[in-house]
Amino acid sequence: MPIIHALYDAEVIDMAFASYTAPGSKSNRTTRIRAADILQDWFAQAKFEREDVGRAEGEEVIVLKNKNFKLIEYEDTPEIEHMREEVLAYNKLIASSFIDIPSLEDPCIVIEDIAKTRNVRIDGNDIRIRRIFSRSSWELNGRFYGAWWQQVDGDWRAKIFINDTPTVEVDFQGLHINLIYAELGEDLVGDPYDCSQIKIPGYPQSSVRMLVKRLALIAINAKDKSSAYRAFRESFSGGQTGTHMTNEWLDRLLDGFLTRNPKLTDYLFSDKGVELMRVDSKITAYIHRHFTEQGILILSVHDSYIIDYSKVAEMRAVMAEASEAITGGPLPTSIKLPDMPEYSEVSDQQVLDHIRSRHEERCQGYLDRLERHAVRFISE
């Protein structure tokens, strides 16, 4: 707010201040802000493109938050300084790379849900990845956040090109479930969400599996059943499958999951998720480090990684190496392709067929952005 007030005092913006009459009153107003005439004139005369707007120098990329999600101060240690150096190196590689989708005339993905529509800008010049730790502890969370590819689904991610080259996404199979099994000293065999004994009238088994998976992961993150069930329902847009599922149905889904995974009973409603995130963030940091040192950009989505299609074998090898270094044993991986079930065995030919299908004609908007990136990169 100090910046807003400074701009207002300088008469660069106009403000209509908030007013409050009573709870629920139609006369209540939030503060509204618009560019003043002088600022509009400056923008009209400005000679810069969207790509010319970047992040401020010196922004902190290692973040510690308290239980209320507020930023808190901390003292640097050699380990924290090392983490910061690695994130800055990764961000530098992102900034020098061209990450885009060839079919988009405008660099914006429109995501339409029943409840609302979201616009996700895919401009790469203002991306800043941060590692965020939670609850005032360096042992909780630590995941990498801030990328637009973390905000879109797998179908959109499958269309991403890095430096004008098609990509493939590789993920850890059932990562958090596998991490718990590893903690127990057990091997997970097969699909942990395969609960074929559960039948929901009108829903194919693939949809039932999706419901089981979502509910199980939410339950592991939650502190109690009521908050887990509420979070599960809220994870769907209005009118979708899970929104109106009764507690009885949710009990049946979890019973099916525990029948398949009886040793995980004590992990439901255990608030375990934030600890597991710390483990998977270490794995991701290991993978980032390996490829960043080679100047090869990968795009991470917590438990999956997008990479140049020609380097998929190396990615899977590094994922196995990283998981073994962190957990004591290699965790299973799989290639994610659109329209293929999770955990499918994907052949080299299927990957090549997917890549050929992505060699679509690049639209003019994409080509223009690619050219501007090349000019900017050469000039820098």
What pLDDT, on a 0 to 100 scale, did the predictor assign at position 184? 95
Which one has a higher pLDDT value, 344 or 133? 133
Mean pLDDT of 116-128: 81
In 135-248 the beta strands, taken as DSSP E runs, fall at: 141-145, 161-162, 165-172
Q: Which residues are bridge partners to 165 per DSSP?
A: 162
Exposure class string for 243-265: b at 16+ Cβ within 10 A, else e: eebeeeebebbbebbbebbeebe
Average of per-residue pLDDT across 97-113: 92
Q: Which residues sit opposite 166 in a β-bridge?
A: 161
Averaged pLDDT for residues 258-284: 97
The dihedral formed by the CA atoms of 363, 368, 369 and 372, expressed in degrees to the nearest 10: 160
Q: Mind giving me the DSSP string for 8-68? A: HHTTSEEEE--B--STT-TT-B--EEEE-HHHHHHHHH----GGG--PPTT---EEEB-TT
Residues 17 and 33: beta-carbon distance below 8 Å: no
Least confident of 97-106, 164-173, 181-190, 341-350: 341-350
CA distances to 23, 221, 282, 291, 349 from 311, in Å: 58, 33, 22, 10, 15
- Strand 165-172 vs strand 304-308: parallel, antiparallel, or unpaired? antiparallel
**How far is residue 271's CA from residue 16's CA, in Å, rounded to a whole number?**
43
Phi and psi torsions of 328, nearest 5°: 100, -5
- Angle, in degrees to the nearest 10, between helices 225-234 and 247-260: 100
| Mean pLDDT of the residues in the chain | 91
Our measurement of the distance from residue 329's CA atom to the centroid of its chain's CA atoms, rounded to an integer in Å, reads 25
Is the pTM of the predicted complex or chain greater than 0.85?
yes
Residues 247, 230: Cα–Cα separation, whole Å: 10
Is pLDDT at 284 greater than 90 in this prediction?
yes
Residues 378 and 375: their CA atoms lie apart, in Å, by 5
Going by pLDDT thresholds of 50, 70 and 90, the confidence category of residue 18 is: confident
> Average pLDDT for residues 231-241, to the nearest whole number?
82
Q: What share of the chain is helix, strand, coil (3-state, %, to 5)?
A: 45, 15, 40
pLDDT at site 52: 64
Distance between the two ends of the chain, CA-based, in angstroms?
A: 34
Q: What mean pLDDT is predicted for residues 331-358?
A: 89
pLDDT > 70 in the chain, percent = 93
Instruction: Write out pLDDT tens, residues 313-325.
Output: 999 999 999 999 9
Distances (CA, A) of 356 to 205, 222, 310: 31, 42, 13
The confidence band for 118, taking pLDDT boundaries of 50, 70 and 90, is confident
pLDDT at 332 > cutoff 70 = yes
Pairing of β 161-162 and β 99-100: antiparallel
Rounded distance between C-alpha atoms, residue 181 and residue 312, angstroms: 26
| Residue 51 burial (C-beta neighbours within 10 Å; 0-12, 13-18, 19+) | middle
Domain limits, the chain: 2-47, 52-179+272-379, 193-260
At residue 17, the pLDDT reads 81
Is the pLDDT at 350 greater than 70? The verdict is yes
pLDDT digits (tens, 9 = 90+) for 130-173: 999 999 999 999 999 999 999 999 999 999 999 999 999 999 99
- CA distances to 30, 33, 35, 36, 43 from 10, in Å: 22, 14, 12, 10, 16
Q: For residue range 34-85, what is the model confidence (pLDDT) as tens digits?
A: 999 999 999 888 876 666 666 667 889 999 999 999 999 999 999 999 999 9
Please tell me the predicted confidence (pLDDT) of residue 21: 64
Q: How far apart (Å, rounded) are the C-alpha atoms in residues 373 and 367?
A: 10
How high is the pLDDT of residue 243?
A: 85
Find the farthest-apart pair of alpha carbons in the chain and give their distance in angstroms, rounded: 67
The phi, psi pair for 185, rounded to 5°, reads 75, 25
